[in-house]
Amino acid sequence: MSQIRVVIADDDVLLREGLASLLTQAGLDVVGRAGDAEELLALLEKDPPDLAIIDIRMPPTYTAEGLDAAVKIRDRFPDVSLLLLSAHVEVDHALELLDSANNTAKGMGYLLKSRVTDISDFVSTIDRIAAGSSVIDPALVYELVAAKRRGDPLGALSSRERDVLTLMAEGLSNAGIGRRLWITEGTVEKHVRSILTKLDLSETADDHRRVRAVILYLDTIG
């Protein structure tokens, strides 16, 4: 079996270089290192690896640059498996990551950095993701289940889907939402379909699902 080729993206130099050293010692081929999302995407343009390990929060704003890069990678480099690392459980970010994994055979993972304590277990996780499996941190699974049990009808929506639904409630068309969020109308349509599915709004004869979604949103935020 050939070595798994890995790129690591994290602005923390000590963590990035330390992880690269450990993975190299474990037999993986670390072919690139990046300190931000822009540098990561440039590396993949030159030589796409088998798997990219990405910190969710990176410069310049330390919000979701890593997640945004992962979504771009999924679109532009569909053969690259992804493992995102986070210091905290962030349900919205994880949901967006999982949404981007739809209709792809490539692996996807989301782990807390605190889980990276046993290098053999971590390498095993990388092997599984590179082989096409999805690996989700147990703490995240707990939070997702807890949100569902709390009965929050919007709990399954990603942060971007919530943004879209909020603008739907303001009466904006898909084109208007796209202009407000700086995304294409096609991307908005994809988010709307996902929202309707997650809110379990089935088609009816008149099919006013968009209106029903807005009513549900307004009832929830009260």
Note the pLDDT of residue 31: 97
Taking residues 143-153, report their average pLDDT. Answer: 61
17 pLDDT higher than 80: yes
Per-residue HEC secondary structure of the chain comes to CCCCEEEEECCCHHHHHHHHHHHHHCCCEEEEEECCHHHHHHHHHHCCCCEEEEECCCCCCCCCHHHHHHHHHHHHCCCCEEEEEECCCCHHHHHHHHHHCCCCCCCEEEEEHHHCCCHHHHHHHHHHHHCCCEEECHHHHHHHHHHHHCCCCCCCCCHHHHHHHHHHHCCCCHHHHHHHHCCCHHHHHHHHHHHHHHCCCCCCCCCCHHHHHHHHHHHHHC
**Per-residue confidence at 97, pLDDT binned at 50, 70, 90?**
low
Same-domain status, 118 and 170: no
Q: Is the pTM of this model over 0.85?
A: no
Same-domain status, 185 and 120: no
Q: What is the pLDDT of residues 41-69, one digit of tens each?
A: 999 999 999 999 999 989 988 888 898 89
**Per-residue confidence at 166, pLDDT binned at 50, 70, 90?**
confident
Same-domain status, 170 and 141: no
Note the pLDDT of residue 61: 87
Q: CATH number, domain at 190?
A: 1.10.10.10
Mean pLDDT taken over the chain = 84
Same-domain status, 54 and 121: yes
Note the pLDDT of residue 92: 66
Number of domains in the chain: 2
**Per-residue confidence at 98, pLDDT binned at 50, 70, 90?**
low
Same-domain status, 101 and 138: yes
Taking residues 99-110, report their average pLDDT. Answer: 68
The answer to whether position 151 is within a domain reads no
1 pLDDT higher than 70: no
Q: Tell which of 145, 169, 203 closes a domain.
A: 145
Q: What range defines the domain where residue 202 resides?
A: 159-221
The answer to whether position 153 is within a domain reads no
Q: Tell which of 121, 145, 169 closes a domain.
A: 145
Q: Tell which of 145, 171, 188 closes a domain.
A: 145
Same-domain status, 136 and 187: no
